[in-house]
Amino acid sequence: MSRLPLDPIFVERARTHRAYLISTALEQAKAFFLRPKTTTVARPKPAPAADPTATSPKAAGPKPKPSSPTAKATTAAPRRKKTRAQHRKAARNWDKKELATVGVPGPELRIEEHTIPVAGFPDVRIRLYHPPTADGDQAVPAVLSFFGGAFRIGGIDYPTTDAGFRRRAADAGVVIAAVDYALAPEHRYPTQLEQAHASLEWLFAEAATLGIDARRIAVAGVSAGGSIAAALTLLNRERGRLPIRLQLLEVPVTDLTGGHIDLRPVREMGIPRIFAIKELRSVAKTYLLDRRQAKEPHASPLLARSHADLPRAVILTAEYDPLRGDGAAYLAALRADGVDASGTMYLGATHDTPIFGGVLPAARRWHDDVVTALRSLHDAD
């Protein structure tokens, strides 16, 4: 099959990403081989029996200090935590630069934030972006939205994420309810899904108070957020069957077993296969407590026995993205079970294309297609 070459704007970025993967691998190898050796403190031997001729308790020798038989040097865990925090800080700083250099700032909108309790799990923060067309008297559609970031970075405060939500709310005339779900590995699956479900129930329950039309609520997600959004529709079907009107999934992760990863785009971008596989596998390793959980439908929505009676779906994928197979397979599964589902693949585009609205026509088209899908919530029943 003939392919459209990678858009020129991504060529240098692919080279940079390749260098990053190689340098990261080298750093990890260096840390492994040069790591300090752990020492085990041996269990102290029993004190010898006291000399019956001794005249002082000290004659039996000093009393040994208690020690754990498994006491070891433990410097690795604090170092990992520090590295993770540094990585997230660097990611957010990079995101800020991306918005300034290749992105499109979002408009000023009315914003409100809420903290939602989640039974048995951490509370979750939700930010509502109200469109400028909302006058308070007429309820408007809403979209419960989940950001991307491999389950372990990102958030609703990231500059490109915030700008994207603002633009979509303004251009589509809908309330964007952005969920700041907990990050892995501090919080593992199914924490994020339970937070998502609690957010969905809250949005429906409080719709009238929030100026939202409860008959016109959708869910949406990007990448890891797409996984959460898709799994939420399954959970909603099991628990409450709230009337979700649409699921909008952008470059979604739908199979954490890796069964639908497509490495051809990686090869064509010149990224070594071994590094790409390692990076992709680390996503599931970080998110799940046990890799066997990858076979659960709530972790891998594609693996559900049935996708019947799920909301209408719009799925967007990118040609140069190893997750394109996940999106295509999920689209096929939805269609096979009678769901109204459509899909679009953007040629010459990569996983993070939507943030390049300031410099890339494909990113602007992507935004327009998202807005079109969201504006369909305004259509008459």
85-110 confidence digits (pLDDT tens) = 998 999 999 999 999 999 999 999 99
In the prediction, which pLDDT does 274 show?
80
Residue 157 annotated among the catalytic residues of the structure: no
In the prediction, which pLDDT does 13 show?
72
pTM across the whole model: 0.83
User: For residue 310, which phi and psi values (nearest 5 degrees)?
Assistant: -90, 165
Binned at pLDDT 50, 70 and 90, residue 267 comes out as confident
- Spatial distance between the Cα atoms of 146 and 196, rounded to a whole number of angstroms: 9
Give the HSE-up count for residue 328: Cα atoms under 13 Å, Cβ half-sphere: 13
Q: pLDDT for 29-87, tens place per residue?
A: 666 677 666 555 555 554 444 443 333 333 334 444 444 433 343 344 445 556 889 98
Report which of residues 151 and 71 the model is more confident about.
Answer: 151
Mean pLDDT within 311-323: 96
In CATH terms, the superfamily for domain 77-376 is Alpha/Beta hydrolase fold, catalytic domain (3.40.50.1820)
Amino acid at 116: I
Mean pLDDT within 356-361: 96
- Spatial distance between the Cα atoms of 369 and 352, rounded to a whole number of angstroms: 15
**Residue 301: DSSP 8-state:** G
Angstrom distances, CA of residue 318 to CA of 162, 345, 363: 22, 5, 11
Q: pLDDT for 14-27, tens place per residue?
A: 676 666 666 766 67
Set 7, 213, 321, 326: catalytic member: 321
In the prediction, which pLDDT does 53 show?
35
| Helix, strand, or coil (residue 156) | coil
Q: What are the DSSP E strand ranges found in the chain?
A: 110-118, 121-130, 140-146, 175-180, 212-222, 244-250, 313-320, 341-350
Q: pLDDT for 163-213, tens place per residue?
A: 999 999 999 999 999 999 999 999 999 999 999 999 999 999 999 999 999
User: For residue 113, which phi and psi values (nearest 5 degrees)?
Assistant: -125, 145
Tokens 């305004």 correspond to 378
Residues near 140 by Cβ (< 8 Å), separated by ≥ 6? 131, 133, 134, 173, 174, 175, 211, 212, 213, 216
Set 17, 351, 352, 367: catalytic member: 351
pLDDT greater than 60 at residue 142: yes
Angstrom distances, CA of residue 25 to CA of 74, 132, 283: 23, 47, 16
Mean pLDDT within 146-167: 98
Mean pLDDT for the chain overall: 86
Mean pLDDT within 115-125: 98
Q: Are 247 and 233 in contact (CB under 8 A)?
A: yes
Which of 79-83, 158-162, 259-263 is predicted most confidently? Answer: 158-162
Residue 223 annotated among the catalytic residues of the structure: yes
pLDDT greater than 80 at residue 138: yes
Sheet arrangement for strand 212-222: 110-118, 121-130, 175-180, 140-146, 212-222, 244-250, 313-320, 341-350
Set 199, 223, 227, 300: catalytic member: 223
Residue 321 annotated among the catalytic residues of the structure: yes
